[in-house]
């Protein structure tokens, strides 16, 4: 079941450097939320904090709260591996495991969770995930072929299938279309619309038109100045952000006057 996320006064650090400061926001369930803003403003860093990927970097830490479905994700008794199972991630560049078949790529997360499966169960998971990623019809007759042999757009959908195979509640996407051609980008955007009926989706994008097309809500991040931490400037319904934003800097960024 998709879950909402509540973030309160979140600060994110790399060692002594504060990269993101004071973020408070609500991310609704079964919706698409877009993060926009200039490079270096902390939006991808903040995205990674939502499934505790940030802390795999030595010296990285957070202060504040991230609550999903009533559970504090940074609680002392919470297993970060379990958080990452519930909050899946799709990265900027397609990254199928090159030595694995399409079939084994989809099952990689389930294997990592040490889940023993019968062949019929594994087959069901692979078909469900590939259908969910709108890839089944294209690859069902070559599941034993290498995942790296697919086109760029197909590889990205394979990575999405791998992420949803473990049935997360939330799906994070860090610029998932930046390395793709327009046709593949359109396919991923169509897929995002289909997936939001089951998942809470958060996407980082530099493409303003993409944010306007795929999201219900948009959050604009910006830097207060050189060497300063990134901050959330405003978060509003996407239609409002792209028509009458609350902050002048949001309008300046969207219109291309900076960033």
Q: What per-residue confidence (pLDDT) applies to 225?
A: 75
Q: Integer distance in angstroms from the first to the last C-alpha of the chain?
A: 37
DSSP β-ladder status, 17-27 and 5-14: antiparallel
Q: What per-residue confidence (pLDDT) applies to 224?
A: 77
- Here the tokens at position 253 are 């960024």
**Residue 3 pLDDT class (50, 70, 90 cuts):** confident
What would the pLDDT profile of 113-155 be if each residue is shown by its tens digit?
766 789 999 999 999 999 999 999 999 999 999 999 999 999 9
Q: CB–CB of 221/43 below 8 Å?
A: yes
Task: Return phi, psi of residue 38, to 5°.
Answer: -65, 160
Residue range 5-254, CATH number = 3.40.50.300
Res 257 pLDDT > 80: no
What would the pLDDT profile of 28-87 be if each residue is shown by its tens digit?
999 999 999 999 999 999 999 999 999 989 999 999 999 998 999 999 999 998 999 899
CA distance to 1, 36, 50, 56, 222, per residue, from 45 (Å):
25, 12, 9, 12, 13
Q: What per-residue confidence (pLDDT) applies to 110?
A: 86
Reported as half-sphere exposure (CB side, CA atoms, 13 A), residue 169 has a value of 18
DSSP string covering 210-239, please? Answer: HHHHH-SEEEEEEESSTTPPEEEEEEEEHH
Q: Please, what's the b/e burial string for 152-169 (b: 16 or more CB within 10 A of its CB; e: otherwise)?
A: ebbbbbbbbbbbbbbbbb
Q: What per-residue confidence (pLDDT) applies to 226?
A: 76
What would the pLDDT profile of 154-186 be if each residue is shown by its tens digit?
999 999 999 999 999 999 999 999 988 999 999
Res 258 pLDDT > 70: no
pTM of the model: 0.91
**Would you give the DSSP letter of residue 148?**
G
């Amino acid at each position: 079941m998709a879950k909402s996320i509540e973030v309160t006064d979140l600060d994110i650090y790399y060692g002594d450097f504060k990269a993101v400061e004071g973020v408070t926001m609500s991310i609704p369930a079964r919706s698409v939320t877009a993060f926009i803003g200039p490079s270096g403003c902390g939006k991808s860093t903040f995205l990674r904090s939502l499934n505790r990927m940030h802390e795999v970097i030595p010296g990285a830490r957070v202060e504040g709260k991230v609550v999903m479905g009533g559970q504090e994700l940074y609680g002392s008794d919470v297993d970060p591996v379990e958080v990452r199972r519930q909050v899946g991630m799709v990265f900027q560049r397609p990254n199928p495991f090159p030595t694995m078949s399409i079939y084994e790529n989809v099952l990689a997360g389930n294997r990592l969770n040490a889940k023993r499966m019968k062949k019929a169960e594994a087959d069901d998971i692979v078909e469900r995930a590939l259908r969910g990623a709108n890839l089944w019809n294209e690859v069902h007759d070559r599941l034993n072929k290498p995942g790296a042999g697919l086109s760029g757009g197909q590889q990205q959908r394979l990575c999405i299938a791998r992420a949803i195979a473990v049935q997360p509640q939330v799906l994070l996407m860090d610029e998932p279309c930046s390395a793709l051609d327009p046709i593949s980008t359109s396919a991923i955007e169509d897929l995002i619309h289909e997936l939001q009926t089951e998942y809470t989706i958060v996407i980082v994008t530099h493409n303003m038109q993409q944010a306007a097309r795929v999201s219900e809500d948009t959050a604009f991040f910006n830097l207060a100045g050189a060497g300063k931490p990134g901050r959330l400037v405003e978060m509003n319904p996407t239609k409002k952000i792209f028509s009458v934003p609350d902050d002048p800097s949001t309008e300046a960024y969207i219109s291309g006057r900076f960033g």
